[in-house]
A and B are shown apart, each in its own frame.
Chain A
Amino acid sequence: MAFAWKAAGLTYNRYLAVAARVVRRSLKEEQRIGVERRGEMDLKFAKWQNGKQGDNKNLADANTSAMAEHAGQQTAQ
């Protein structure tokens, strides 16, 4: 099966997150309020090299740039 989002470098995990986010946003107002926070993610990470901690980076930003880097690679396989 060919998926258009794969060609743009998106992972299945990202696909599910986007689909879940839009489902939450489509709820009626009273249901939406408690539920929207489930989609929030604010993880940070740092790479350790030679015994020293590198810069703190936002995981979401790092993922976005990794996806842009991998765009077009899946279709070549």
Chain B
Amino acid sequence: MNSFRFARAALRARPTMMRQPLQRRGYAEAVSDKIKLTLALPHQSIYKSLDVVQVNIPAESGEMGVLANHVPSIEQLKPGLVEIIEESGGSKQFFLSGGFAIVQPNSQLSINAVEGFPLEEFSSEAVRSQIAEAQKIAGGSGSEQDIAEAKIELEVLESLQAALK
């Protein structure tokens, strides 16, 4: 009998406990749904803390899209295409040679790379001729380092060729 009364008291207590976090929700609406993007190369910064909607990056652990309030993380980038969806709704594509993307806790994203150019500045003809050249070196009888470098070049060029299609 005593335990029954206790259970009823607990039932009555719960609704007030659940109401409290609901009231706090109003705060989230004040937070911006944009992410501040900084895209920097050693010689130039392409984006300088600009509000964008979404950034798709080719991380070594897989392709990922970064929106506002993303979990903080550090990702090594593969040579590949970075797609930026801007506030106006348009999107821009840059091919980066590889680097790091750092998602910071306060909706900031910093991308560092050695080289990065808009996709339209690449020549598919130059890519094709370099693939042939790199394949020759990779399959040749050069030093272990030369072959490894040719394989890196092939990785970059194949990614670039896929992006240009």
Listed in ascending order, the chain A residues whose CB lies under 8 Å from chain B are 1, 4-5, 7-10, 14-20, 22-29, 31, 38, 64, 67-68, 71
Contacts of B43 in A (CB 8 A): 38
Q: Taking chain A's interface residues, is the majority helix, strand, or loop, or is none over half, making it mixed?
A: helix
* Closest Cβ–Cβ distance, residue B120 to chain A (whole Å): 9
Contacts of B99 in A (CB 8 A): 16
**B115 near A: Cβ within 8 Å?**
yes
Contact of A8 among B98, B121, B126, B144 (CB under 8 A): B144
* Closest Cβ–Cβ distance, residue B132 to chain A (whole Å): 13
- Chosen A-B contacts, 10 in total, with CB atoms closer than 8 Å, are A7-B148, A16-B97, A19-B152, A20-B115, A23-B79, A23-B95, A23-B156, A26-B127, A28-B126, A31-B117
Is A5 within 8 A of B130, CB to CB?
Answer: no
CA distance A64 to B97 in the complex (A): 21
Decide: A26 near B145, CB < 8 A? Known: A5-B152, A18-B153: no
**B149 near A: Cβ within 8 Å?**
yes
Give B127's nearest chain A residue, CB to CB: A26
**B114 near A: Cβ within 8 Å?**
yes
CA distance A7 to B160 in the complex (A): 25
Give B150's nearest chain A residue, CB to CB: A18
Contact of A22 among B143, B144, B147, B157 (CB under 8 A): B157
Contact of A10 among B127, B149, B153 (CB under 8 A): B149
**B63 near A: Cβ within 8 Å?**
no
Decide: A10 near B148, CB < 8 A? Known: A23-B115, A27-B117, A27-B121: yes
Contacts of B134 in A (CB 8 A): 22
